[in-house]
Amino acid sequence: MLVCRQMEALDTAKIRQDFPVLQRMINGKRLVYLDNAATSQKPKQVIDAISNYYSNYNANIHRGIHTLSEEATEAFEAVRPKLASFIGAADAREIIFTRNATEAINLVAQSWGRQNIKEGDEIILSPMEHHSNLVPWQMLAKEKNARLVFLKLTEDGLLDIESLKEALNPKSKIIAVTQMSNVLGSIVPLEEVCALAKSNGTLVLVDGAQGVPHIAIDVKKTGMDFLVFSMHKMCGPTGVGVLWGKAELLEAMPPVMGGGDMISMVWRDRYTPNQIPWKFEAGTPNIADVIASGVAIDYLNSIGMDRIRAHEIELTDYALKRFSELKDVTVYGPKDPALKGGVISFNLKGLHPHDVGQVVNEDAVAIRVGHHCCQPLMRDLDLMGTARASFYIYTEKSEIDLLIDSLINVQKVLGHVAL
- pLDDT tens digits for range 180-189: 999 999 999 9
pLDDT tens for each residue of 39-73: 999 999 999 999 999 999 999 999 889 999 999 99
Is 310 among the domain residues?
Answer: yes
4 in a structural domain: no
Question: Measured between alpha carbons, how far is 39 from 42 in angstroms, rounded to an integer?
Answer: 9
**Which of the residue ranges 2-16, 60-74, 389-403 would you say has the lowest mean pLDDT?**
2-16
pLDDT > 80? residue 192: yes
Based on the domain organization, do 209 and 348 belong to the same domain?
A: no
Q: Report pLDDT for 6.
A: 60
The answer to the question of residue 180 being in a domain is: yes
Whether 402 shows a pLDDT value over 80: the answer reads yes
Choose the catalytic residue: 4, 194, 373, 374.
373
338-343 mean pLDDT: 97
Same domain, 261 and 322: no
- Identify the pLDDT of residue 381: 95
Q: What end-to-end distance do the CA atoms of the chain give, in Å?
A: 62
Verify that 137 and 272 share a domain, yes or no.
yes
* Structural domains of the chain, count: 2
* Domain identity same for 238 and 353: no
User: Does 194 participate in catalysis according to the annotation?
Assistant: no
Average pLDDT over the chain, rounded to an integer: 96
6 in a domain, yes or no?
no
Q: What is the pLDDT of residues 303-326, one digit of tens each?
A: 999 999 999 999 999 999 999 999
Q: How confident is the model at residue 5 (pLDDT cuts 50, 70, 90)?
A: very low
Q: How confident is the model at residue 418 (pLDDT cuts 50, 70, 90)?
A: very low
Q: Is residue 258 part of a domain?
A: yes
User: Which domain does 401 fall in, by range?
Assistant: 12-34+304-412
Among candidate residues 268, 302, 336, the one where a domain is terminated? 302
In terms of domains, do 53 and 86 share one?
yes
Domain end, chosen from 264, 282, 302, is at: 302
